[in-house]
Amino acid sequence: MTTSTARNDERSERPLHGILVLDFSQFLSGSLATLRLADMGARVIKIERPGAGDLGRTIYLSDTDVHGENTLFHAINRNKESYAADLKNPSDLDKLRQLIARADVMVQNFRPGVMERLGFGYHKVSQINSRLVYGIVSGYGNAEAWRDRPGQDLLAQARSGIMWLSGNEGDPPTPMALAIADMLAGHNLCEGILACLVRRGVTNRGGLVETSLIEALLDFQFEVLTTHLNDGQRPPRRSAFRNAHAYLAAPYGVYDTANGYLALAMTHLPTLGKLLDLPALQEISNPADGFRRRDEIKQIIAKRLKEHTTEHWLEILNAADIWCAEVLDWPKLCASEAFEQLAMVQTLRDGRGIEVLTTRLPIRLDGGLLTSERLAPRVGQHTETIQREFGL
């Protein structure tokens, strides 16, 4: 058995094998949803404009590229096929309608109204294929006041309130340094699509799944936003010293040691005081003081932890089952035994000598890992093959 055949046999056992997905999305959110579907066995055909393709091909996270394209694009579009179509060309649009008639899932993240003007909104395509599950990621969902505003990650973070949870009290609004709105919305869309596919298996009826960057961020904050909504809507108050959570008491935070950093989570303060030899903490009898005196207590802990190494404190705290961890940077993480055991890294290849290291799907199925080794396709790489297969 050849390596390619073995790979195909392995993919045929994945739960979404046989599901055909048409991916009209660009950038991150929609592409992440279809990546997850592909990783779980679906066949994903990425619909791209001829020539330039997805705008995400040329937006760089850094100055690192692979074969003239950025590494993120390869990671988030791995194991997909590319079909080039001009959405202003009537002949190309007709071919796409034929593909839609055969598809199980369609995903798009254009600005509201764009796909409707092209005749590819949900109500139109559901007349072509009533079993189609149609997924949309927008910037702001049904928030008409923001409907026409750019649906971009940082801008969604700015409107969501989340920037007032990071950083210390007195700091300016602090964005999370990841494209969390895009990533979370992509995961939410994938979840909704999977639920709709399950329903279709029962009713034979497709459906419309919608989410947005702003809804994903609001849901992400549900724990603390619920508190806010039920305590008189008081604004969250970040700790002025080593803030890690606006609603959690000391010692919750990250502290310097003599040679690094140590994270401390929720811990009984008198117990911690005994372990660290801090009489001031041992005398705390009212748990509410952990929040009321948060900054004062954190500064006491910080001064003590700087006196010895991370290893010294971990030996003491781990023995007492205190919730703590060394703060690792990426080099330390990647060199750790645990990281090796997780086997989170996979190598993408295209058969022409190009390789990209990236993470795998963070799900194990029946005890096995779900990896994908194929790089993102070139623009239109599979157009002719797909046209022959579907008789377009």
Tens digits of residue pLDDT in 161-171: 999 999 999 99
**Domain shared by 202 and 88, yes or no:** yes
pLDDT of residue 1: 42
**Domain shared by 71 and 214, yes or no:** yes
pLDDT of residue 228: 93
Domain containing 282 — which CATH number? 3.30.1540.10
Q: Does residue 109 lie within any of the structural domains?
A: yes
**Domain shared by 176 and 284, yes or no:** no
Q: How far apart are CA 63 and CA 310, in angstroms?
A: 34
Question: What is the average pLDDT across 3-29?
Answer: 82
Q: Does residue 361 lie within any of the structural domains?
A: yes
- Contact assessment for residue 352 and residue 374, using Cβ atoms and an 8 Å cutoff: no
pLDDT of residue 315: 98
pLDDT band per the 50, 70, 90 thresholds, residue 382: very high
Q: Which residues, 6+ apart, have CB-to-CB distance to 175 below 8 Å?
A: 154, 157, 158, 162, 163, 166
Encode pLDDT of 35-72 as tens digits.
999 999 999 999 999 998 998 888 766 667 766 667 88
- Contact assessment for residue 35 and residue 64, using Cβ atoms and an 8 Å cutoff: no
**Domain shared by 361 and 327, yes or no:** no
Question: What is the average pLDDT across 117-135?
Answer: 97
**Domain shared by 130 and 168, yes or no:** yes
Encode pLDDT of 223-281 as tens digits.
999 999 998 898 899 999 999 999 999 999 999 999 999 999 999 999 999 999 999 99
Q: Domain total for the chain?
A: 2
pLDDT band per the 50, 70, 90 thresholds, residue 15: very high
Q: Does residue 226 lie within any of the structural domains?
A: no
Closest CA to 21 of 41, 45, 49: 45
> 185: domain range?
3-220+357-390
pLDDT of residue 69: 65
Predicted TM-score (pTM) of the model is: 0.91
pLDDT of residue 4: 47
pLDDT of residue 55: 87
Domain containing 17 — which CATH number? 3.40.50.10540
Encode pLDDT of 72-96 as tens digits.
888 999 999 999 999 999 999 999 9
**Domain shared by 146 and 182, yes or no:** yes
SS (H, E, C) the chain: CCHHHHHHHHHHCCCCCCCEEEECCCCCHHHHHHHHHHHCCCEEEEEECCCCCCHHHHCCCCCCEECCEEHHHHHHCCCCEEEECCCCCHHHHHHHHHHHHHCCEEEECCCCCHHHHCCCCHHHHHHHCCCCEEEEEECCCCCHHHCCCCCCHHHHHHHHCHHHCCCCCCCCCCCCCCCHHHHHHHHHHHHHHHHHHHHHHHHCCCEEEEEEHHHHHHHHCHHHHHHHHHCCCCCCCCCCCCCCCCCCCCCCEEEECCCCEEEECCCCHHHHHHHHCCHHHHCCCCCCHHHHCHHHHHHHHHHHHCCCCHHHHHHHHHHCCCCEEECCCHHHHHHCHHHHHHCCEEEEECCCCCEEEEECCCCEECCEECCCCECCCCCCCCHHHHHHHHCC
Q: Does residue 248 lie within any of the structural domains?
A: no
pLDDT of residue 372: 86
Q: Does residue 236 lie within any of the structural domains?
A: no
Encode pLDDT of 195-226 as tens digits.
999 999 999 999 999 999 999 999 999 999 99
Handedness of CA 16, 111, 64, 328 (dihedral sign): negative
Q: Does residue 244 lie within any of the structural domains?
A: no
pLDDT of residue 2: 46
**Domain shared by 63 and 156, yes or no:** yes
On the question of pLDDT at 299 being above 80, the answer is: yes
Q: Does residue 229 lie within any of the structural domains?
A: no
pLDDT of residue 338: 95
**Domain shared by 14 and 71, yes or no:** yes
**Domain shared by 15 and 160, yes or no:** yes
**Domain shared by 308 and 170, yes or no:** no
Q: Does residue 188 lie within any of the structural domains?
A: yes
**Domain shared by 190 and 62, yes or no:** yes
**Domain shared by 66 and 128, yes or no:** yes
pLDDT of residue 167: 94
Question: What is the average pLDDT across 316-324?
Answer: 97
